[in-house]
Copies of this chain bind each other. A is one copy, B any other.
């Protein structure tokens, strides 16, 4: 990769339980030029989640102070908790030529797409609503009311599918991963991103 290339901002979103977290982990493992932007949230950590790796877990007060200081590229209230994407971190990685992956909810995705016009947006779909419900229950981290709320949100979010550039049905995770990698490969070949890469002898 030439040094002057500006990075690509890849926004992966979709209903809670569609499996976007798994796909994002697979992408990061497969592609060394990608780095993950760690979001901030006011929700508590799930089992196994680490502060600074999965999320920056913040109190309401600290989160609000960062909002007031304009430190988030986007922030949104999802399922009763607040989430935000740290602006400075994302822009610095893009300027350094790294590709940046955001795993964010549809509200946040909409805000980022409006703020960063050349980002790539991918919506991850569950194979069916039954599968979505099963996955949310199987995770076992949410209470019944939370699951019902996430399912209702999921139905609404599907209506926004057309505002994304790409959609991937996450039925078989290997196939969905291959599709996400193909989107990344193709987007790197777009002529709008391509010009700094043309060899000097052409």
A residues lining the B interface (CB < 8 Å): 122-123, 125-130, 158, 161-162, 164-169, 178-179, 181-183, 185-187, 189-192, 194-195, 198-199, 201-202
Q: Which of B126, B185, B195, B201 contacts A186 (CB 8 A)?
A: B185
CB-nearest residue of chain B to A178: B185
Given A179-B189, A186-B183, A186-B187, check contact A125 B165 (CB 8 Å).
Answer: no
Contact B191 A161 (CB under 8 A): yes
**B contact residues around A129 at 8 Å (CB):** 201-202
Contact B187 A167 (CB under 8 A): no
One complex includes copies of this chain to the number of 2
Additional pairs, 17, CB under 8 Å, beyond known A129-B201, A162-B192, A185-B186: A123-B191, A125-B198, A127-B199, A128-B199, A128-B202, A161-B191, A161-B194, A161-B198, A165-B190, A167-B190, A179-B186, A179-B189, A182-B185, A182-B186, A182-B189, A183-B185, A186-B186
Contact B125 A202 (CB under 8 A): yes
Q: How far is the CA of A38 from the CA of B126 in the complex (A)?
A: 40
**B contact residues around A127 at 8 Å (CB):** 199
Q: How far is the CA of A166 from the CA of B193 in the complex (A)?
A: 9
Contact B191 A162 (CB under 8 A): yes
